[in-house]
Amino acid sequence: MFSGVKTAAFMASAGSGIAIIVSLIVIGNLFMEVNDMYREVLAEMDEFKATTWGVQCALCLLLAVNRFVDLCIGRNANEALFSGSRTNIWCALAACYGIILVFVPPTLVFSSTLGSLFYDPYVGFENITEVDRSWYFNPIMGINNIATVSSLFVLYTAMLITITLKSMRSGGNVHIQISIFYQAALICLLNAVPALEYLYMQFFSAPQWLIAAGHFGWQASNGGPAFIYVFFNKTIQRNVLKMFGMKGRTATISSILPTSHINLSTIKYSESIIKE
C-alpha cells in the first residue's frame, strides 16, 4: 500500500508544481491586459485550470477517504481498497474527473481587471446591462466546491470522533494515528478554504484583498502539503536533513560526571533519536 501511496503523492506533487508555475507565469503576464488580445491563451488556460482544480479536489477527497477507511473501518479494508496499484487506479479516476470538467462549459474566465477567475467575464463592469450574464454561470464548479467541502467536513468529523474514543481507551498507536490525522486534515483544509473563497467571489462582491487571498490560498493548497509533511513526518525530516548534509546533533558527556549515573541511552543522541 505504501509504495502506491508514495507514487500517488509524487504524481500529485508534480502536478501541483506545474499548476503553480503556469499560474504565476500566465496570470502575472495577463494582469491588467485586454482579454481580447489573448483569447486563445485564455481559452487554453480556462481548460487547464478547470482540469487541475477538479483533479486536486478529487485527490484531496481521496486522501480523506483513505484516512477514514483506515481509522474508522479497519486496516484490512484500507489495504483492500488502496494496496498495490489500486491507489494508481483511484488517481487515474481523479484525473478522468478533472478532464470531464473541461467538457462542461462554460468554465471560469480570468479577469485581467480583478486578477482572478470568475464565471462572469463582465465582472467589475456594472455599466454593462444588456448582456445576459446567466449564460456564463456554470453550476458544476459550484457543486464541486460545495460537495468537496461538505464531504471533507463529514469525513474528518467522523475521524475526530473515532480518534477521541480510541484515545479514551488508550490505544497503543493512537499518537501515530493522531499525527496522520493532523497531516491529512491540514492538507484538506488548505484545499477547502480557497474552494469556499472562490465560491463566495462568484456570487458576492469581494474586496481586492479577499480576491488576492483566494489566489494565495490556491497556491498554498498546492505547495503547502510539502511543508506539512516535513513538519509532522519524522522520516521525511530525517531525509531532508540528509539531503542538506545535516545528520542531526551529537551530545557530548563531560568527563567529570560520575559514570555510575549516566544512562547509556542518552549518550548516543544522533540521527536515531529522530526515529519514532
pLDDT in tens, 33-80: 555 555 566 666 667 777 777 887 888 788 888 888 888 888 888 888
Whether 129 has a pLDDT exceeding 70, the answer reads no
Sorting pLDDT into bands at 50, 70 and 90, what band is 258?
Answer: very low
Least confident range of 48-62, 92-106, 113-127, 188-202:
113-127
Whole-model pTM?
Answer: 0.61
Question: Alpha-carbon distance 120 to 134, whole Å?
Answer: 8
Cis, peptide link before residue 258, omega less than 30° from 0: no
270 — pLDDT class (breaks 50, 70, 90): very low
- Please tell me the predicted confidence (pLDDT) of residue 266: 41
* Distance from the Cα of residue 14 to its chain's centroid: 12
